[in-house]
Amino acid sequence: MHESLERHFPAAAVKPEYGGAIIWLRLPEDLDAKVLHDLVEPEGIFFETGGFTFSDEQSNRNHIRLGYSVIDEALIAEGIDRIARAVPEARSAEAGPA
């Protein structure tokens, strides 16, 4: 998972040192994780938006929590690819009609 994240979101995720079950990904500041979530969920890509874990959710709405401990390893790279491909559409959706 971390290799795929580094390819699409360089330096945006911290690789766990001792294993674990999740990786936090910080998206660009102008991207709302909920908008991205709503775009990829119909494709079977699931993640939790992370803003709720911060005391100031609005200022941290660009975080997502990616679980991987129960995901087939063969599916992880494709899931990260799909998330990355949805980023431009999420930005457009958030900006609204021109």
pLDDT tens figures, 27-67: 988 899 999 999 999 999 999 888 777 776 676 788 898 98
Strand order in the sheet with 22-26: 22-26, 63-67, 48-49
pTM: 0.79
37, 49 Cβ separation under 8 angstroms:
yes
9, 27 Cβ separation under 8 angstroms:
yes
- Sequence letter at residue 75: L
